[in-house]
Chains A and B, each alone.
Chain A
Amino acid sequence: MKIGVKYCGGCNPEYRREGVEEVLRKHFKIFYSEDVDILILINGCRKACLAEEVEHPNILVVDSPMSEEEIVRKVEDAMKELRES
């Protein structure tokens, strides 16, 4: 299953967005591409510009700091849901 990440523009992030990617890389193989099964939108704040702009059937939105466990659980849940569908 292909997992992609897309960053917002990062004008004024409220947390270190790169930390999310680091966690993802530790647990999954990820691509900078929208041509994936699950697309993770890494937004710097709760405005979450990407959530309004990007269209994709399986999106996960990150818009505030999350623990490693939470990120991994969210991705695994999304993968499970996709497999079952």
Chain B
Amino acid sequence: MMKGKEYIESLRKYKPTVYFMGKKIESVADSPILAPHVNAAAMTYELAHDPKYEDVMTATSHLTGEKINRFTHIHQSTEDLVKKVRMMRLLGRKTGSCFQRCVGLDALCALYITTYDIDQKYGTDYHERFKEYLTYVQKNDLMAAGAMTDVKGDRSLRPHQQADPDMYVRVVERREDGIVVRGAKAHITGAVNSHEIIALPTRAMGEKDKDYAVAFAVPVDAEGVVMFFGRQTNDMRRLDGDIDCGNAKYGTVGGEALIVFNDVFVPWERVFMCGEYDFASELVETFATYHRQNYGGCKVGVADVLIGASAAIAEYNGVERASHIVDKLTEMVHLAETCWCCSLACSYEGFKTPSGAYMPNLLLANVTKLNITRFPYEWSRLAQDIVGGIVATTPSELDYKNPETRELIEKYLKGKADVPTEHRIRVIRLIENLSIGAELPESMHGAGSPAAQKIMIARRANLDLKKEEAKRVAGILPDEDYQRVRGEEKKE
């Protein structure tokens, strides 16, 4: 298992093609724009070596029996599922940001299950192939970017109906030694600072979409892979110093990128689905369930930081005992812990799949994520309420550091006398970072937008059974248990 520093060093061995602001980034490990995201991902490596955290951060490989980073582990029990979300909360709390590595983990787990199922039906050898790849990932402790979302073009059309056939990643050539793929994946978390990219289909496919039913893995610097690092609100503050960012060390959300596959060759040993369109839906659903399971862990860890910042600013402002402040902080805790309950519940209610891997309860995982499309907006609103309007009007770090103006800012941004002004500004900026900007849309759309969760919830709501219960309670259908209690049961 790599340590944090070793992970950062390992990135130097890769030469991905990454563009940002019209220029090519020469070294991912050394770019100040990428640094916070690299640091956050590095924490997934570093904490695995800390005796205080290794119980949730590590696992035993079911393939090799070796101790591995949990981010490369296939869940072998419901306890593994629970430990995964505990790991998410821990890292959310430690970084106050997205640590990116869960997407690759979820892609590995989803492929483990679906490759097994494809082989059962078609007699293919995807699962064995995939297990070899998984062993490689585990042994080298690699970070994989899970790349699912296609750019989609006209959303009303299926992949094969698009005016431009490259709107979904597809196979453009089948060779003896592998396939050639073309297309693009959008919003891919941690892509530029990963070692590998694992691409999965993004939707259910029909027979005519056969070429789009493709799953594969390539190194981030495979020939033909071009990435565009996405802009974030206030991203250039990173170049000004460490205060205005709010979270200069770990940034905010995952540092997402657009990945273009410009006729990329993939050898057969890295192809895990190729044309089995009838399994695209299962793969998407399985991945989505794993990924939606996470959000009551990571986002609640981040909420821990926001709640702490809100409590701290109340203290710095001298209002920590005001009843409305206590009430708002309590409400934030309630919202966050409700989401935590959801993540734990879907994990404890997980089940064993035919492949042997465990996966979370599908309905509850979707409920978890749907809450995350709402509750972070509310806890962010409460944080903004507590911090006050200064969250949007604080003078810049450069003015604060300017010897000509520093004294004035020191004096007039002061809160309680015993709290340094800089501490107050730092906490205000942290609240700004966590409650304004990329964090909220990520809660909304990461792991799928609310409509996607609603579809899954509706599909699993089992309204017929609920109607039956209602009719029984209302006296429309017979209630045999009640009849026995009242001694009214039918005599045979």
Contacts and interface: CB of A to CB of B under 8 A. Distances in A.
A14 B349 CA distance: 13
Interface stretch (B10-18, B278-286, B460-468): B460-468
Prevailing SS type, chain B contact patch: mixed
B265 to A, nearest CB: 39
Contacts of B460: 14
Contact of B465 (A13, A48, A51): A13
Contacts of A45: 349, 351, 361
Interface residues of B, number: 9
Interface string A42-68: 000111100100000000000100000
18 contacts: A14-B460, A14-B462, A14-B465, A15-B462, A15-B465, A16-B465, A16-B468, A45-B349, A45-B351, A45-B361, A46-B351, A46-B361, A47-B349, A47-B350, A47-B361, A48-B352, A51-B352, A63-B351
B351 A48 contact: yes
A46 B462 CA distance: 14
Q: Which 7 A-B pairs have the closest CB atoms?
A: A46-B351, A47-B349, A47-B351, A14-B462, A48-B351, A16-B465, A47-B361
Interface in A6-22: 13-16
Interface in B339-386: 349-352, 361
A60 to B, nearest CB: 15
A47 B361 CA distance: 8
A15 B464 CA distance: 9
A45 B349 CA distance: 9
A17 B352 CA distance: 20
Contacts of B351: 45-48, 63
A42 to B, nearest CB: 15
Contacts of A15: 462, 465
Interface in B264-280: none
